[in-house]
Structure 1
Amino acid sequence: MNKQMYSIGEVAELNNISIQTLRYYDKIGLFAPAFIDPVSNYRYYHEKQFFYLDIIKYLKYIDTPLSQIKELITQDVVQMLPFLEEQAHIIDKKISQLQEAKKMIHHRYLQIKEQNSLANRPQGQVYTRFVEEQNQLHLSTTDLTPRGNPDVYMRDLANLLETKEDRVVGNFYGCVYELKDYQDTDQIVYSSIYTSLIGDEQLSDKPTPEITKKHIPKGIYICICFKWSVSQYLQYYKTFYEYIINNNILTEGPVYEVSLPNRYSSYEEDDFITELRIKVKEND
C-alpha cells in the first residue's frame, strides 16, 4: 500500500528543504501541512502537496520574495505570465550587470599588474614600453594644472556613466596636455581629463560637447614614472622632455599623465604612482 501522508522530517528529506523552513512556511501561511495531530501536534503532509512545494521552491530559486510567492500561488495560472516576463527582464539585466562586473574585475586586475610593474621601475628614469589600445571618456578642461584637483572634474564623467549608462566609473583617471618646453608647473594646462572605458563598449547616449569618447592607439610609448609630487613634477617632466628632444625622437599625440593609487583608504595621505607617456611616431 502506497504511503500518502508524510511527517515533516520525511518531507524535508524528500524535498531537500529544512524542517525549519517548512515550519516557517506554515507560520506565514505559505505552505501548511495537510494534517496536524491534535495530541502530538506533529505536522503531516500529503504526497500531492510535493508538487506545489516544488512550485514554491522554483519561485524562490528565481529570487521571488515570499510575500509575492504567497500572492502568486493564490492566483489563476495565467496571471503568472506577466510575472515571468518581468522576471526574465530582471534576470537579463542582472546577467548584463554581472558581465560588466566581470569585465571590470579583469580590467582592474590588469591595471594593478601594470601599476605593480611601474612601482618596480627606477623612479625618474625614462624608458619605452608597449601600451595597449584603449577607449577613453574625456572631459575638456581649460584651467586645470598639476596643482589643481581633478577629482571634482571627474564627477562629470562619473555622473554620465552612473546615471545614464548604469555603470560605475573606475578608480582611475588620467590627464592630457601638449608636449612643450614648460618652464613652470603652472604653464602645464590640461586639455582634458579622462577615465578608461572597458573594452569596446558603446555609450547609449551621445556625450556632451565637453565629454567625448576617444580611442588611444596601441604602440611604443616613451615614459617616465614617479611617486606623485607637485613640487617635483616639473623636474620629472623636464627629464622626460629633454630625453625626447636630445634623442631626436618623433612623437605623435599628447602627453598622457596616468595616476594610480597605491592605497585605497581616504584616512591616509595620498599615495599615487604617476606615469607620463607619449606615443612614438611610427614610420610611414
Structure 2
Amino acid sequence: MPKHDLFSIGEVAQMFHLSVGSLRHYEKAGLLKPEYISPESGYRYYSTRQFEVLTTIRFLRILDMPLEQIRDFLNNREISKMQHMLQNQKEAILQKKKELELMERKIDQQLVLIEDAIHSDLGRISVKHILEKRVAWLKNTVSPKSYFDLETSIRQLENGQNGAGIWLGKIGVGIALSRLKEHAFSTYDMVFLTLDFDEPYTGTTEIWPACDCACLRFCGSHKDAPRQYELLLNWIKENRMVPYGFSRETTLIDDGITSDPDRFVTEIQIPVHPIQE
C-alpha cells in the first residue's frame, strides 16, 4: 500500500480522540494490528480499512465491554454474535444501574443523617413515633467504648453479604428490658443493623413494628451512655410512662466521621407507653 495512504499512530489517535498508549494497548491485546510498521524506526501506520474496526472497538469500549470479548468478536464477526454481546452487556449495565441507584440512596440517607445529627437538640427528651424498621440483629453481649469496638459484630452481620455496605448510623446496640428495669447499663445484649426494606441481605431479618419511644440525643458515644440512660428512665417515670421493650442506641456522629469528641452525637430510644390508670 502506498505510504501516502497510511496514517501515523499519532494522526489516528488524534482523529479518534484516543491516546497513542490506547492504540498500542489495543495492538498488544490483539485487537488492532497496524497496517505497516517501519523496520527502521518502528513507527506504526494505519490504513482507512482499519478505521471501521477501530470504530467498533471504541463503541464496545464505551459500553464497558471487556477487551477479551471484543477480540473474540473481531476474530469471528457475526450479526447474531453482536446481538448476543449487546444484550448481555445491556443486562450487566441494568444491574450496575440498580447498584448505583442503591448507592445514591445510601449517600442521600447518610447526608440527611449527618445534617440531622449536626442540628440535634442535645439533652432534650421527647416522645417520638418511630416507624417500623427492617433489621438484622445478633444477641451478643458487648461493652463498646466506641463505634470500632463493634467491628467483630459488624463483620458477623456482613458475613456473606457480597458488599452489603455497613454505614455509620445504621449499626446500633440495645439493652434488654429486664436489665433496663435493674438500671444495669454497663453492657449491651444485642447488636443490630438497620436495613432498607428493598436492600439485599442473605441473612435472617425481621420487622420491628412502629412504636412510640422516649428519645434522647447527647454529646458522646457508647461509653458515655450509662448516665444518659439514668436521665431517660427518670424522665419516663416522672412523665407516668413505662418502658416495654429493649433500648435502641446508635451513634450518629462518632470516630468514623470526626476525630473531635466534642462533636460526637449518640441517640437512645426506649419504647414506652402511658401508665394505665
- The answer to whether the 8 Å contact 2:250/2:267 transfers is yes
Amino acid aligned to 2:153: Y
Distance in structure 2 (CA, Å) of the matches to 1:206 and 1:182: 32
User: Is 2:255 the counterpart of 1:263?
Assistant: yes
Q: Conserved in 2, the CA contact under 8 Å of 1:134 and 1:215?
A: yes
Quick one: distance in 2 between partners of 1:155 and 1:39? 60
Per the alignment, in what secondary structure is the counterpart of residue 122 of structure 2? coil
Match of 1:138 in 2: 137
Is the counterpart of residue 214 in structure 1 residue 207 in structure 2? yes
Q: How far did 1:281 drift?
A: 4.5
CA distance in 1, matches of 2:69, 2:203: 39
| Counterpart residue identity of residue 102, structure 1 | E
1:93-112 deviation line (CA, Å, top 9, x unaligned): 32222122112212211221
**Pairwise CA RMSD:** 3.9
Q: Name the structure 1 match of 2:118.
A: 116
Contact 2:7 2:47 in 1 (8 A): no
TM-score by length of 1: 0.71
Secondary structure of the residue aligned to 1:277 is strand
Matches within 5 A, 1:146-161: 150-159=150-159
Change (3 A) 1:155 1:248: same
Per the alignment, residue 17 of structure 2 pairs with: 16
Q: Runs of 5+ in structure 1 lacking a partner?
A: none
Aligned partners of 1:266, 1:22: CA distance in 2, in Å?
Answer: 45
Question: Which residue in the other structure is 1:73 paired with?
Answer: 74
Q: 2:167 aligned to 167, 170, 184, which one?
A: 170
8 A Cα contact 2:164 2:200, kept in partner: no
**1:100 aligns to what?**
102
Summarize the Cα distance change of 1:223–1:164 in structure 2 as closer, same or farther, 3 Å threshold.
Answer: closer
Residue in 2 that maps onto 1:56 = 57
Who is 1:228 aligned against? 221
> What CA distance in whole angstroms lies between the structure 2 residues aligned with 1:116 and 1:89?
41
Which amino acid letter does the alignment assign opposite residue 152 of structure 1?
T
The code of the aligned residue for 1:139 comes to L
- How many Å apart are 1:243 and its aligned residue? 0.9
- Work out whether residues 35 and 43 of structure 1, in 8 Å CA contact, stay in contact via their aligned partners in 2: yes
Q: 2:222·2:266 contact (CA, 8 Å) conserved in 1?
A: no
Distance 1:242 1:45 in 2: 83
Would you say the 8 A contact 2:37–2:45 is kept in 1?
A: yes
SS of the residue 2:181 aligns to: coil
Distance 2:43 2:145 in 1: 75
SS of match in other structure, 1:137 = strand
Look up the match of 1:244: 236
Amino acid in the other structure paired with 1:137: A
Q: How big is the shift at 1:153?
A: 2.8
Conserved? CA contact 1:5–1:44, under 8 Å: no
Aligned partners of 2:112, 2:86: CA distance in 1, in Å?
Answer: 39
Structure-2 change in CA distance of 1:170 and 1:35 (3 Å): same
Cα distance, 1:57–1:147 mapped onto 2, change above 3 Å: closer
Cα separation, 2, equivalents of 1:235 and 1:11 = 72
Residue 279 and residue 266 in structure 1: after superposition, are their counterparts in 2 closer, same or farther (change >3 A)? closer
Q: Cα gap change, 1:38/1:107 in structure 2, threshold over 3 Å: closer, same or farther? A: same
**Cα distance in structure 2, aligned partners of 1:237 and 1:62:** 55
Question: AA paired with 1:214?
Answer: I
Q: 1:23 to 1:129 in 2, by over 3 A?
A: same
Per-residue CA deviation, residues 43-79 of structure 1 (Å, 9 max, x unaligned), is: 5433332211111112222333434433331124245
Q: Deviation of residue 266 (structure 1)?
A: 11
Q: Is the 8 A contact 2:34 2:44 kept in 1?
A: yes
Determine the C-alpha separation between the residues in 2 that align with 1:240 and 1:134. Answer: 22
Aligned to 1:48, the other structure's residue is in SS state helix
Shift of 1:275: 1.5
Under a length normalisation based on structure 2, what TM-score does the superposition of the two structures give? 0.73
Change (3 A) 1:189 1:13: closer
What CA distance in whole angstroms lies between the structure 1 residues aligned with 2:201 and 2:266? 32
Question: Identity of counterpart residues, as a percentage?
Answer: 23
Is the Cα contact below 8 Å between 1:145 and 1:185 reproduced in 2?
Answer: no
Checking the alignment, whether the CA contact within 8 Å between 1:170 and 1:195 is kept in structure 2 is no
